[in-house]
Structure 1
Amino acid sequence: MRAFFGKILSKRKKEDRTTMKKLLIVGLGNPGPKYHNTRHNIGFKILDFLADSKDLSFAPDRLADKTEFNFKGRKFILIKPTTFMNLSGKAVRYWMDKENIAIENLLVITDDLNLEFGTIRLKGKGSDGGHNGLKNIQELLNTTKYPRFRFGIGNQFSKGQQIGYVLDEWHAEENEKMKERLEKSTELILSFGTAGIHNTMNAFNGK
């Protein structure tokens, strides 16, 4: 009898491992060295920093570069779409379907002109705010109700110069502060996956 219940417990533990909560973390940006250190690619930059902290590297996969790791009983799947910004939704939808990710376990990381440099803000829903990557995701998921993590890039540009500004590289003073902001951003991502969106919003928004 003891052996019988031992087998049941062993089976349950195995099932628990196979049903580990999965999260899809999407950093928005444009592929290629031309865009590597531009403001518009902060989503890629944050995920690169997180992957480096875990001694991981990204590998090419369907519609995205991808890596993953387990942390506190959660599986974090990180993707950087290779579709270019305006078609980001294709990669998001594909990987959500492939990995069977619930919409509340999706986190999209994007730049935000309306926030001062380095300001971080997590929200559970919202408009695309004129951001083409978010716009395409919204269209393909058919909803605005998905978590997004906005990283402020400021709006220090002249009238008509927005595109040049977001596709320009960071200034020296921004680069000096970047490491601390990247560390805080990775902490937010891990908290989102383990503590939930509301606790994470309270702990990190505006910090």
Structure 2
Amino acid sequence: MTRQGAIAIEPMDGSAAVRAEDAFRLIYAEAFAGPPHHETEDGVAAAFRRFPAQAGERAFRAALARAEDGEPVGMAYGRPLPPDAVWWDELTAPVPDDMRREDGRRTFGLMELGVRGPWRGQGVARGLHTALLDGIGAERVLLNVHPANRAATAAYRAWGYRKVGEARAGGTAADLHDVMLLDLR
């Protein structure tokens, strides 16, 4: 567990994340409720119907930030992309075969990173990101970010991510997202 001011960040494996699912759900629901995400109760419920299966996948990792009183304030989670990852197939334009090559260890997929409103702008997201990626052994990290989420996009760019394409995660009705890649080598 690392401390960042009055915030404690706990790295977790999948089973620990499932035990803390209520905290992840609370953060997710609040962090993504407003624009540009407009997450609904049904959307949150759907995300957390998938959560136990995601957390049960090989090498799933999570990080949970809590205030001194134990209140959940931020979360991040992801996993390595498997060799048959569909993430690259969701891009609106193809990328070179070498970029999309996966072996189950090469790329860590950052699935979610969110901080509740009152704790934004205090370095919590950066602390979660650092804790989540500590020792992952991957060559790179891949994520999708809504382009209208300017604060997140700016943070990712400041942390070294670059845009490699655009995708409609979940199908053609979904909003277009920027696909960003961080080289860890």
Same-fold call, TM cutoff 0.5: no
Select the structure with the greater relative contact order (CA < 8 A; seq sep ≥ 6).
1
Scaled to the shorter chain, the TM-score interval is 0.3 to 0.5
Which structure: greater helix fraction? 1
> Which TM-score applies when normalising by structure 1?
0.34
Bigger Rg over Cα: 1
